[in-house]
């Protein structure tokens, strides 16, 4: 198989490119960039690729169709819906890391992304690729957001069993700076974020609606969640700390049992009988989860950690690729945490 990557110069695209070079079923990887810019060498745009002489060529639908069997799109929001529509409508296999087709409602997209959505006529169904809970694959995979992945995997065991008090779901998520991408902004300036903690987009993060969509599929009684994102001074990794009340009493043993059962056979999601720290997953495609029942308050604290660029982006995209094409789920995906 040949694959293409649109947007290789961003963090997600670069990581994807590194990993896919090791995929045993992939022959050639074509890199596509801005359709209006001339071709350029990858090594001249991203220093880390100093050994590569691959070219980034302008994105063009016809070329893509001729060269590759599947396209990964790793652009910022708004680009995919513009460039990919023709491919999308023809049922060309696409795995889209952006948020462009995660929301099915135009109004919702407009509200959370602050721009108009591409026209969705419903003729081509989109798969929300939360890999552990996705079985039917269409040709268009909307790869989940990083916050959504950590949160949904943490809430799934209790939500699916409808054991949550629907009015008591609080998510306090912390993310490293790479989550915001490469673009320059005051909030990604080293001198701003170093030694700082910055709560941002309170109740307004664009991953909230995709979390709600999925939660409602698991338990229609959940009306809303409380969701906070705080930027922390590290480059890579994301922790979602969740506080939920149960709608019926459970013991810690029952809680452990439920989580263990849900993630008994998932190669990339693991429940621990302790609370994880972030670095146990950085550098891997794993999501690691711990949960503790507070017997005084009857609140369960769930901690879910992922590498935002792997399980939260490029890694999950490859996992979707593997599932979509019937390959072994774990191919080309890193499993060893960076030490130290």
Residues with a known catalytic role: 146
The answer to whether residue 111 forms part of the interface with a second copy (CB under 8 A) is no
- The residue among 146 and 305 lying less far from a second copy, judged by its C-beta, is 305
Number of residues that bind a second copy (CB under 8 A): 78
The answer to whether residue 289 forms part of the interface with a second copy (CB under 8 A) is no
- How many CB atoms within 10 Å of residue 114? 10
- The residue among 67 and 226 lying less far from a second copy, judged by its C-beta, is 226
- The residue among 124 and 250 lying less far from a second copy, judged by its C-beta, is 250
Choose which of 27, 38, 51, 122 interacts with a second copy (CB under 8 A).
51
- The residue among 104 and 338 lying less far from a second copy, judged by its C-beta, is 338
Residue 218 and residue 128 in contact, taking contact as beta carbons nearer than 8 Å? no
* Run of H or E residues at 140: strand 140-142
Q: Please state the closest distance from residue 171 (CB atom) to a second copy, in A.
A: 10
Residue 32 and residue 6 in contact, taking contact as beta carbons nearer than 8 Å? yes
Q: Please state the closest distance from residue 172 (CB atom) to a second copy, in A.
A: 4
**What is the 3 state secondary structure string of 264-319?**
CCCCCEEECCCCCCHHHCCCCCCEEEEEEEECCCCEEEEEEEECCCHHHHHHHHHH
**Which residues in 64-90 are b (16+ Cβ under 10 Å) and which e?**
beebbebbbbbbbbbbbbebbeebbee
Extract the tokens encoding 178.
């790479």
The answer to whether residue 236 forms part of the interface with a second copy (CB under 8 A) is yes
Choose which of 280, 325, 329, 330 interacts with a second copy (CB under 8 A).
280
269-271 and 287-294 beta bridge pairing: parallel
Distances in whole angstroms, Cα of residue 14 to Cα of each of 6, 19, 294, 328:
10, 9, 42, 23
- The residue among 46 and 156 lying less far from a second copy, judged by its C-beta, is 46
- Listed in sequence order, the residues at least 6 apart from 43 whose beta carbon sits closer than 8 Å to its beta carbon are 49, 50, 51, 52, 53, 54
The answer to whether residue 185 forms part of the interface with a second copy (CB under 8 A) is yes
The answer to whether residue 81 forms part of the interface with a second copy (CB under 8 A) is no
First-residue to last-residue Cα distance in the chain = 36
Query: Where in 119-138 is the site for a second copy (CB under 8 A)?
Result: none
Q: Please state the closest distance from residue 259 (CB atom) to a second copy, in A.
A: 14
The answer to whether residue 97 forms part of the interface with a second copy (CB under 8 A) is no
Q: Please state the closest distance from residue 110 (CB atom) to a second copy, in A.
A: 17
- The residue among 33 and 334 lying less far from a second copy, judged by its C-beta, is 334
Query: Where in 6-45 is the site for a second copy (CB under 8 A)?
Result: 11, 14-15, 18-19, 21
Q: Please state the closest distance from residue 268 (CB atom) to a second copy, in A.
A: 11
Query: Where in 162-181 is the site for a second copy (CB under 8 A)?
Result: 167-168, 170, 172, 174, 176-178
């Amino acid at each position: 198989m040949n694959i293409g990557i649109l947007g290789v110069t961003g963090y997600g695209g670069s990581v994807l490119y590194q990993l896919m070079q090791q995929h045993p079923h992939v022959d050639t990887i074509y890199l596509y960039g801005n359709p209006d810019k001339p071709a350029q060498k990858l090594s001249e745009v991203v220093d880390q690729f100093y050994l590569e002489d691959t070219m980034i060529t302008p994105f063009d639908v016809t070329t893509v169709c001729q060269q590759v069997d599947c396209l990964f799109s790793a652009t910022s929001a708004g680009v995919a819906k513009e460039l990919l529509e023709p491919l999308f409508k023809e049922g060309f296999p696409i795995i889209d890391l952006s948020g462009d087709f995660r929301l099915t409602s135009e109004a919702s997209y407009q509200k959370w992304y602050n721009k108009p959505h591409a026209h969705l006529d419903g003729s081509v169904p989109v798969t929300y690729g939360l890999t552990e809970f996705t079985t039917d694959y269409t040709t268009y995979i909307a790869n989940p957001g990083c916050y959504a992945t950590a949160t949904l995997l943490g809430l799934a065991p209790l939500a699916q069993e409808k054991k949550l008090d629907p009015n008591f779901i609080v998510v306090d998520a912390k993310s490293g700076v790479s989550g915001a991408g490469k673009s320059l902004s005051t909030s990604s300036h080293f001198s701003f974020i170093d030694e700082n903690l910055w709560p941002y987009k309170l109740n307004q993060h664009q991953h909230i609606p995709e979390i709600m969509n999925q939660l409602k599929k698991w338990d229609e009684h959940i009306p809303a969640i409380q969701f906070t994102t705080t930027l922390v001074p590290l480059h890579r990794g994301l922790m979602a700390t969740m506080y939920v009340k149960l709608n019926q009493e459970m013991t810690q043993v029952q809680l452990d049992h439920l989580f263990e059962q849900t993630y008994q056979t998932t190669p990339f999601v693991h429940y621990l009988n302790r609370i994880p720290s972030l670095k146990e997953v950085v550098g891997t495609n794993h999501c690691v989860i711990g949960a503790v029942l507070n017997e005084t308050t009857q609140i369960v604290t769930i901690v879910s950690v992922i590498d935002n660029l792997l399980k939260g982006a490029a890694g999950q995209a490859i996992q979707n690729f593997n599932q979509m094409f019937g390959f072994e789920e774990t191919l080309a995906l890193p499993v060893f945490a960076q030490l130290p």
